[in-house]
Structure 1
């Protein structure tokens, strides 16, 4: 069944009008007709079954037949703050796969060794939107505007905070530190890693040092590994 992302839908309204872009896609591309059934997600946990009432290529009218709230609501909250990669396609890959696995919030952090300091957030959000539709998720992860690391460290976070880095020192595994069904904020550095000064600042801000294994991972791979470990621990 065809799925549409409709962030402006009202749960209590019996009808919904698809945007011109979505209407054109539904009628001209997918060749849907009146009476065809579709599914909608609002990015806030709402999952809707609907039926096409008027198959208009500019303003398709849908009758809402059922609504499920908190559809597949997750039992934990995962916020990964990661430095955008020099090759932006690697960051795009991480966003797509992390969304499919399960993530709630992403911050793009600018560090001293960052090789990319500007990103097109609108484009990245489109990749996230496509991923939630593909993986049938009703919650749309929040993608924050790029922020300097020292600014992020000053923001309050009511949960466990971790920093993954490659500098020498005592570090425990992420999976051994996570409290089930909790809230987590995990920092992942750029290709050249965090500087010692940045690591020290993070530790002073309450972040705990962690390792993601013995292998030396690319930035996007490390971020996805952290995402996987958090979701695997909370799979029940």
Structure 2
């Protein structure tokens, strides 16, 4: 299967022109020819079958032959807000694996103990795009620019809100708390964890403290664990 990401493709389009980069990959690298079948995903749930009409290395023309809307649509909505790791490769790893498992939105948050204050969203989005192609997903997760934690805490969210942290205190079991088929926002802190003041502020804004197990997890591991648990608990 040859899969291309085509975010500007609409279900009503009878044809589609691949970008110069994708055209070169299709014709020069994959050696595709007129009549060969390919698949397209628009990142908004559309999965398309297409056939090559003109095998041009700079502007390949595809005929759309079938459209499947809401392809493998999830039965829930998962938004994870995570502090960017000092080693950016760890954040990249999380985004890749979370996309493969299933995630709808990721927010990068800056906290009191954050060691990294920014991240190149364009590069991170390319990693997400590669992951949706590899895992055959028609929905492209939204990646938000980094914001201060207090800004995210006061942003309206229609769903269940949780915060995972390592400070002492009573914490809820995620398995017993989530309402299947719902929307979830989970906060994951930096390497030094959330500060007590941040945890208190999150609580004041409706975030419930949760445990992700007995082990002390790295930021990216905790974020992926939360992603896995939500997807596992929402399996049909």
Q: Distance in 2 between matches of 1:192 and 1:16?
A: 48
Specify every segment of 5 or more residues in structure 1 that has no aligned partner in the other structure, as ranges. Answer: none
Q: How does 1:33-52 map to 2 (within 5 A)?
A: 33-52=33-52
Superposed displacement of residue 176, structure 1: 1.4
Matched residue, 1:61 = 61
Matched residue, 1:116 = 116
Superposed displacement of residue 52, structure 1: 0.2
Matched residue, 1:223 = 223
The answer to whether 1:195 aligns with 2:187 is: no
Matched residue, 1:4 = 4
Q: How does 1:178-193 map to 2 (within 5 A)?
A: 178-193=178-193
SS at match of 2:145: coil
Superposed displacement of residue 118, structure 1: 1.1
Superposed displacement of residue 174, structure 1: 1.3
Q: Deviations 1:118-144 (Å, cap 9, x if unpaired)?
A: 100000000000000000000000000
SS at match of 1:163: strand
Q: Distance in 2 between matches of 1:80 and 1:169?
A: 22
Q: Distance in 1 between matches of 2:136 and 2:226?
A: 22
Q: Distance in 1 between matches of 2:10 and 2:224?
A: 33
Q: Deviations 1:196-227 (Å, cap 9, x if unpaired)?
A: 00000000000000000000000000000000
Q: Deviations 1:1-39 (Å, cap 9, x if unpaired)?
A: 100000001211110000111001100111111011000
SS at match of 1:78: strand
The answer to whether 1:143 aligns with 2:148 is: no
Q: Distance in 2 between matches of 1:211 and 1:142?
A: 25
RMSD of Structure 2 on Structure 1 (CA): 0.4
The answer to whether 1:214 aligns with 2:202 is: no
TM norm structure 2: 0.99
Q: Distance in 1 between matches of 2:38 and 2:18?
A: 12
Q: Deviations 1:51-105 (Å, cap 9, x if unpaired)?
A: 0010000100000000000000000000000000000000000000000000000
Superposed displacement of residue 173, structure 1: 1.4
TM norm structure 1: 0.99
Matched residue, 1:81 = 81
Q: Distance in 2 between matches of 1:80 and 1:175?
A: 17
Q: Distance in 1 between matches of 2:69 and 2:207?
A: 34
Matched residue, 2:106 = 106
